[in-house]
Structure 1
Amino acid sequence: MQTSESIKQISVALLGFHKEVPTISKESKNPFFKSSYADLPTILKAINPVLQRNGLVVLQFPEGESGLTTRLLHSSGEWMESTYTMKPVKATPQDAGSAITYQRRYAIGAILNLDIDNDDDGNSASGKGEKQPANNTSNMSELPWLNEGSEEFKKAVTYLKEGKKISAIEAKFRISKKVREILLTNAA
């Protein structure tokens, strides 16, 4: 992340934003992981009025061939920004548009520290129902192995081809180094 020389005023404004921002509705569904998330229009509708009241605006613009820079700008001229790069799986306009939307959603969530996904570490998909600490290694041994060629493996390849992250798959399955490499190669 990069920032302006001073971030004193933008920090105060960001604190004001967090005091006001409503809970963002997570009504979009991810069928592969049986989870829900807030889509980009829902996020923008919830945050834009609160950003404006606090003298803030989010700007997003292309960076290079497959990057997106997100800048949080304050009325004082102070700013914070970060660049996120993601190549679409295929070079079609639809895939490029999908990758840009995905980048925009996650970049806004990151720079504003928003809760835009239901992150249950794979428990709802595995039927456990309770949220567990993410780094609990005893729970890792309870996860099933992802095996090359299985239906789950094929779904995981499709999921990655949509530009999504392997960390979500790793939250649901144990993956050997070999299978991880094969998975990433098949998704490329």
Structure 2
Amino acid sequence: MIEAQTVEFDPPSEAVTAPAQADSSTNTAVATRSEAEPPATSNQTAQIFSMIERLTLDTNVPIERAEQAFGFWQKVQAEQAKKAFTAAMIDCQAEMEPIRRDAENKQTKSKYATYAALDRAIRPIYTRHSFCVTHDTVPSPLPDHVRVLCFITHRDGHERVHTADMPCDGKGAKGGDVMTKTHAMGSAMSYGKRYTLGNGFNIATEADDDGNAASGKTDAGTNFISPAQVAELEKIAKDVNADVERFCKYGKVESLAHITIANFERAKKTLLMKQKPVGGAK
């Protein structure tokens, strides 16, 4: 090993034994060595690996030094990959728009964007920016749950994982059994994939208003009441001792917050009808 290193890095013995031509021989030897070597590569990775290889082969260098050099190189590579991931994610999200809610949950009477809708809208964008998406599941620490993992990986090697613990007990919104365990598991995985993919790229969803929101138009029939209006209805319900859950069920809405602006006055009037007349008259 040492002899190979001496031959590679030291001048030829002729340069040492010819004192009258020592300087010129030394220069010639260096020049000859440079010409014999392959051109320096511009690939930084190849250069660093070559350096680590020389450290490994040199018996005078402790193996720990080579391991430290390799660890440092890995750290630099990871930092560069992370920066590339962030830059690509910024460009990627700049092209992504809110996704239309294309399906309805009949249990909660609410709309949502399916995984297929998300995938159809954003896959061409994130693949163009060198991302790939994969999913997996692992046991969840929560009972009757499954943990869904979403791996967002960039071409340069950096990866980010998003998780969601989804219930798979087969219960519906009201606590009753609505599906088999097998169906529940599949449903939980589907929901988990949708949530983690949306979170991974910070995707917003919006109700299908036929493009009115994008054009600056609004429709009271497709917009929910404000928090102040929700608070007003809650106060009236409390004053008249109304059962909010039954009231929402009667109005076919998931909650007071899901009452549309167009139905606000009617909801308010319905609640006020339960108010007892002044003086206790029946």
Q: Which category of TM-score, normalised to the shorter sequence, fits these structures? A: 0.5 to 0.7
Match of 2:93 in 1: 18
Q: Quick check: 2:245–2:255 contact (8 Å CA) kept in 1? A: no
1:107 to 176, 183, 196: 196
Structural mapping, 1:1-188, within 5 Å? 6=79, 7-31=82-106, 35-65=110-140, 66-90=146-170, 92-118=181-207, 130=223, 136=227, 138-144=228-234, 147=243, 150=246, 152=248, 169=255, 171-172=257-258
Question: Which AA in structure 2 matches 1:89?
Answer: D
Structure 1 counterpart SS, 2:94: helix
Q: Gapped runs of 5+ residues in structure 1?
A: 119-126, 157-167, 174-188
Q: 2:147–2:164: 8 Å Cα contact kept in structure 1? A: yes
CA separation in 1, counterparts of 2:169 and 2:249?
17
How much has 1:171 moved relative to structure 2? 3.9
Residue type of the partner of 2:87? V
Identical aligned residues as a percent = 20
User: Which secondary structure does the structure 2 equivalent of 1:89 belong to?
Assistant: coil
Aligned partners of 1:73 and 1:79 also within 8 Å:
yes
Q: How does the TM-score come out when normalised to structure 2?
A: 0.44
SS in 2 for 1:18: helix
Secondary structure, counterpart of 2:150 in structure 1: strand
Q: Residues 83 and 43 of structure 1: is their aligned pair in 2 closer, same or farther, counting only changes over 3 Å?
A: same
List per-residue Cα deviations over 1:35-83 (Å, max 9, x = no partner).
4322111111111111111000112100215101112110011111122
TM-score in terms of structure 1 length: 0.63
Amino acid of the structure 2 residue aligned with 1:101: S
Output the amino acid matched with 1:68: V
| Cα deviation, residue 129, structure 1 | 5.1
RMSD: 3.5
For residues 169 and 244 of structure 2, the distance between their equivalents in structure 1, rounded to whole angstroms, comes to: 20
Q: Distance in 2 between matches of 1:10 and 1:170?
A: 42
Count of matched residue pairs: 149
Measure, in 2, the Cα distance between the counterparts of 1:92 and 1:17: 37
Q: CA deviation at 1:116?
A: 2.5
Cα drift, residue 100 of structure 1: 1.0
Q: Which runs of 5+ in 2 are unaligned?
A: 1-77, 141-145, 171-179, 208-219, 260-282
Greater length-normalized contact order (CA 8 Å, ≥ 6 residues apart): 1
Aligned residue type for 2:95 = E
Relative to 1, partners in 2 of residues 1:87 and 1:23: Cα closer, same or farther, differing over 3 Å? closer
Please identify the structure whose Cα radius of gyration is greater.
Answer: 2
**1:113 aligned counterpart, secondary structure:** coil
